[in-house]
Amino acid sequence: MPKLIPVAEEFNKPFWDAVNAKRLVLQHCGACNKLQYPPQKTCQVCGSDAKLTWKEVKGKGHIATYIVIEDGRLNRRMPDQPYNLAMVTLDEDTTVNFYSNLPGTPPYKVPVGAAVEVTFEEVAPGQLIHEWRVVN
Ligand SMILES: [Zn+2]
């Protein structure tokens, strides 16, 4: 399945550098003690930019809900329809959510509530992205 190829900017380069090393790091705000994803230039809760640091997480989560994309408008994804779009909640901070196509899980067969773990897929030479896979 073709995926969007990320283009790192200065503020999110540590995130993509870690993904390329098969590690998941999230921003942690020392002012309000929150993890945040996706990376942003400031804390989305308190607005601080001085207290944002990078923290490695274990990459374990659970499937909160999902939909199946049947008639999406992204041309490059149309050949793959229907495909899953699941919302994954991070175990270490359940306010942090990720969206995943759940590679390995057929469309409409998503086990809501199941445990998932982060996995990494190469989308361009040397460029990985993070995805999520159901833990058996
Ligand atoms: Zn904050």
Give a yes or no: residue 2 inside a domain.
no
Cα–Cα nearest to 19, from 123, 109, 106: 123
Residues that place a CB less than 5 A from ion ligand 1: 29, 31-32, 43, 45-46, 48
Q: Would 84 be classed as within a structural domain?
A: yes
Residue 124 has pLDDT above 70, yes or no: yes
How many whole angstroms from 64 Cα to the centroid of ligand 1? Answer: 25
Question: For residues 130 and 19, is the Cβ–Cβ distance under 8 A?
Answer: yes
- Which residues neighbour 60 within 8 Å (Cβ) at sequence distance 6 or greater? 90, 91, 92, 115, 116, 117, 118
Predicted pLDDT at 106: 97
110 alpha carbon – ligand 1 mean position (Å): 33
8 alpha carbon – ligand 1 mean position (Å) = 23
Residue 6: which pLDDT band, with cuts at 50, 70 and 90? confident
Residue 1 lies in a domain: no
**Residue 43 Cα, ligand 1 centroid: separation in angstroms?**
5
Distance 28 CA to ligand 1 centre (A): 8
Element (H, E) at 18: helix 13-20
Return the pLDDT at 1. Answer: 67
Residue 4 is assigned to a structural domain of this protein: no
Instruction: Tell me, in angstroms, the distance from the centre of ligand 1 to residue 88's CA.
Output: 22
Domain count, the chain: 1
Answer whether residue 3 shows pLDDT above 90: no
CA of 6 to the centre of ligand 1 (A): 25
Name the amino acid, one letter, at 103.
P
Q: Is residue 75 part of a domain?
A: yes
pLDDT digits (tens, 9 = 90+) for 89-102: 999 999 999 999 99
Residue 122 CA, ligand 1 centroid: distance in Å? 32
User: Residue 60's domain spans which residues?
Assistant: 10-134
Residue 44 CA to ligand 1 center (angstroms) comes to 7
Residues 34-56 have a mean pLDDT of 94
Average model confidence (pLDDT) across the chain: 94
pLDDT band at 72 (very low <50, low <70, confident <90, very high): confident
